[in-house]
A and B are shown apart, each in its own frame.
Chain A
Amino acid sequence: MSKILELKSIYAGYKDDIILNDVSLEILDDDFIGIIGPNGGGKTTLLRVILGLIKPFKGTIEYFGDSNIDRNNKIGFLPQINQIDNKFPVSVYDVVLSGLIYNNGFYYKHSKKDKQKAKETLQKLGICDLKERHIGELSGGQMQKVLLARAIVSSPRLLILDEPNTFVDNKFEGELYEILVQLNKDMGIIIVSHDIGTISTYIKTIACVNRGLHYHKSNKITEQQLASYNCPIKLITHGEVPHTVLKKHNH
């Protein structure tokens, strides 16, 4: 259990709009954090800050254990699927290999080791038979697995997933979470989800993001707690999470 990174009172947003206010968060390599919050609350923005895609206005991010350069392959990222052009001419295998992009100083070829790793990752996720397929010939769930393979092929210390359950059915969702639980033995995981009911049985802790962050160090949460965190989220019944529809929150 060691620290991967630490956000220290981060203020971040776009142009003159501050979305995240004074966010501090410590991420350990055995964490499994579920991020919830209303639409527009800043969940994706928080991920973008962690990934280094946007620079915070104020505050610092400290990365531990690796040199600053090395960290680039140490965070795996699974973006929202709808951002990707599925007519682009690449195969599944190519996409997975692209997860190792930084490892090759010269970008012409992949080493034997890289190829081996890509194959092992496909195997791990049970999608070896899709290897030579064009990405346009996949179902939503298969595509998610391919993108997950790309995210973990570099054996990152931290895996970040932005709403991986958007385009998939319940069966795949369960399968995905089981895979994540396995992966969590080797890496920290941050997952954004609207369906807190389903993820709460898999995650270890919950972070509520709504313009700020409230870190709830347990996977059980009640409507009162959510309300006190400024997080008006619909809870859908599952296990021990109570069924509640919270009142709309006014700023």
Chain B
Amino acid sequence: MVIELLQYNFVVNALLAAFFASISCGIIGTYIVTRRMVFLSGGITHASFGGIGIGYFLGFNPIFSAAIFSILSALGIEFLSKQTEVREDSAIGILWSFGMAIGIIFITITPGYVPNLMTYLFGSILTVSKLDVWLMFGLSLLIILIFSAFYRLILFVSYDQEFARTHKIAVNLVNYLLISLVALTIVLNIKVVGIIMVISLLTIPQSIANLFTRNFRNIIIASVVLSFVGVFTGLIFSYKLNIPSGASIIFSLVIYFVFAKLIHLLINKLSIRRKTKNFELIK
């Protein structure tokens, strides 16, 4: 079945998109989860809808306006919360709804029919274009390079910013750079599962991985693999059962999560049993 499907360009594109999405979301998601920035990422995701609306209105590819718009909101949230009196979660709330409002306004005043709106909201990996795949490839490469070159720096700044500051590390620069990467990752992966659900690719694989390893690098590697497995399974379900790909991907990921959690519980239980037995033997 797979071989025969590979004749179709859109299937190849979808698989490539799944592959690159797994890389960028696997790495950036680990950063997001370990720094507890999930809500912030949700905010950036929804704010990007404003960029999509503007793109439609001005008549160019919404991905580009969304990218600019979400990077600006990400930097805005970071700035508002760190440099001013505004609380971080309030700043997120403001930009989250503001972005959505802008999006709705511009889509409404765009004359005529708005094509593919649903693609952005709910995702549709089978419609990703060659350009999308190239952009996702570029982003994955950029993220791999940055995380390989500055792995320790990113790790230490994420762990304890204050301490990094006492060693005169440019903590703000690191934060701004990484939040921009978060924004780009979100926007370029919107087509895979949609604005509403993109956060799942950034959190579920990492949560599964975190059950079995507590090493930053291992979480990254495991998340990349798990994302790909999840997206791939989702695609198969979507094809077989004829349900929307975005929802089916999330569904598969959650099934894997539940499954992993059960295995995790079982492993712990067995280990406790073994240990109590050993203890009794010693006695």
Instruction: Count residues on chain B whose CB falls below 8 Å from chain A CBs.
Output: 27
**Binary contact track A82-125/B, C-beta < 8 Å → 1, others 0:** 01110011110011011001101011111000000000000000
Q: Which of B152, B158, B162, B166 has the most chain A CB atoms closer than 10 A to its own CB?
A: B166
Are A85's CB and B166's CB within 8 A?
no
Q: How distant is the Cα of A110 from the Cα of B156 in the complex, in angstroms?
A: 13
Verify if B36 is at the interface (C-beta below 8 Å from A): yes
- Residue in A closest to B206 when the chains form the complex, CB atoms: A89
Verify if A150 is at the interface (C-beta below 8 Å from B): yes
Q: How distant is the Cα of A85 from the Cα of B155 in the complex, in angstroms?
A: 13
- Residue in B closest to A80 when the chains form the complex, CB atoms: B162
Are B159's CB and A77's CB within 8 A?
no
Taking beta carbons and an 8 Å cutoff, which residues of B are in contact with A? 34, 36, 148-153, 155-156, 158-160, 162-169, 210, 213-216, 219
Which residues of B have CB within 8 Å of A52?
165-166, 168
Are B156's CB and A89's CB within 8 A?
no
Are A91's CB and B215's CB within 8 A?
yes
Are B149's CB and A107's CB within 8 A?
yes
Q: List 10 extra interface pairs beyond A88-B158, A101-B169, CB under 8 A.
A: A53-B165, A84-B160, A85-B159, A89-B215, A97-B152, A101-B152, A101-B167, A108-B149, A108-B150, A109-B152
Are B159's CB and A88's CB within 8 A?
yes
- Residue in A closest to B154 when the chains form the complex, CB atoms: A107
Are A72's CB and B166's CB within 8 A?
yes
Verify if A61 is at the interface (C-beta below 8 Å from B): no
Are A90's CB and B159's CB within 8 A?
yes
What's the least CB distance linking A249 to chain B, in Å? 30
Are A89's CB and B216's CB within 8 A?
yes
Verify if A51 is at the interface (C-beta below 8 Å from B): yes
Are A107's CB and B152's CB within 8 A?
yes
- Residue in B closest to A51 when the chains form the complex, CB atoms: B166
What's the least CB distance linking B43 to chain A, in Å? 20
Which residues of B have CB within 8 Å of A131?
none
Known A79-B160, A79-B163; contact A89-B36, beta-carbon cutoff 8 A: no
Verify if A136 is at the interface (C-beta below 8 Å from B): yes
* 18 pairs of residues in contact across A and B, judged by CB atoms under 8 Å: A53-B162, A72-B166, A75-B166, A77-B166, A79-B160, A79-B163, A84-B159, A90-B159, A90-B215, A98-B152, A98-B159, A98-B160, A98-B163, A102-B169, A107-B149, A107-B152, A109-B152, A150-B163
